[in-house]
Amino acid sequence: MNQQEASHYKALRDVTETNVAKTLEVADTKTSIITKVLSGYKHPEKMKVLSLGCSLVSMGLSQQGHDVHVVGATDSCVESINTVFKLPMTLDTEPDGATNLMVQGQKFDLVLALDQTLTFFNTEEEQKQFISVLSKLTKGKLITSLVDYKNQTSQSRMADLPLTLSIKDKQNMFINHRSWDPTDRQRFINNWLWIEEDKLVGTSKTTRRTMYFKQLAKFTSDNGGKNFTIHKNLFYKPLLSKAFEHVISINYE
């Protein structure tokens, strides 16, 4: 799975650590989206949760007392969670953390693949293989978030609306635009830029691949997933983006 460059994670850390109390409030709000998805689903009072990356939802679930294991954690995430937020989360920085857990026979009540995690791959085959791994790790629900790539406007296909945030009393802008592969309509280079007032302070260039809803439904069904659901009234927004993502759940009970 491909990852963002270091400056993207630095921006995340700067934003979250600027106001710790506010960040935890936002984490609680975003976690409420997942709580709504879980409504009516019988799960243990203390869930065993696997999160792909250090999302705010993983922090919110940890605050609620669930046993949260994060794979693909960056060094900045580990330091921030341990020294600033001080949450009791298991943080795994190994690139093959999910595969290692699968080999160990681990199972989770809830697996989170938020922030379009399933698009951070070079090929469709890589996406299929990773979904196979997640399916083996899930004994309850897999919840992910995706943009509706099939029905994008020409403008939204090329770029997201810029996001502005105040960090340490300075105005910051985050820009996200895409360069599409001329030979493969689903493959693109994601270009992310961080501007502080009049200075370019960070960039991240990542090879990614769209995931259509029908593709995800098929790939999860092929691996035992059931009740594929797009929660039409629920949307998830990443911390450094204005692009709202659809929330999708799959059962593996």
Nearest one of 124, 139, 145 to 52, comparing CA atoms: 145
Pairing of strands 90-92, 108-113: unpaired
Percent of the chain with pLDDT over 70: 100
> Does residue 42 surpass a pLDDT of 90?
no
The amino acid occupying position 246 is: H
As a whole number of angstroms, the distance between CA 77 and CA 55 comes to: 10
* Domain range 6-150+212-251, CATH architecture: 3-Layer(aba) Sandwich (3.40)
Query: pLDDT band for position 96 (50/70/90)?
Result: very high
As a whole number of angstroms, the distance between CA 113 and CA 248 comes to: 10
> Does residue 26 surpass a pLDDT of 90?
yes
> Does residue 152 surpass a pLDDT of 90?
yes
Query: What integer pLDDT is reported at residue 44 of this predicted model?
Result: 84
**H-state helical runs in 84-211:** 97-103, 124-137, 154-158
CA atoms within 13 A on the CB side of 152: 23
Residue-wise over 44-71: b if at least 16 C-beta within 10 A, else e? eeebbbbbbbbbbbbbbbbbeebbbbbb
Q: What number is the average pLDDT over the span 97-123?
A: 97
Spans of all domains in the chain = 6-150+212-251, 151-204
As a whole number of angstroms, the distance between CA 117 and CA 126 comes to: 12
As a whole number of angstroms, the distance between CA 204 and CA 156 comes to: 19
Tokens (6 digits) for 184: 């493969």
Using the structure block, give the residue that is written with the tokens 């769209």: 210
User: Can you give the pTM of this predicted structure?
Assistant: 0.96
Q: What number is the average pLDDT over the span 10-32?
A: 95
Query: What integer pLDDT is reported at residue 43 of this predicted model?
Result: 83
pLDDT digits (tens, 9 = 90+) for 239-248: 999 999 999 9
pLDDT digits (tens, 9 = 90+) for 155-201: 999 999 999 999 999 999 999 999 999 999 999 999 999 999 999 99
Question: Dihedrals φ, ψ of 39, to 5°?
Answer: -60, 125
* SS3 call for 248: strand
Query: What integer pLDDT is reported at residue 105 of this predicted model?
Result: 97
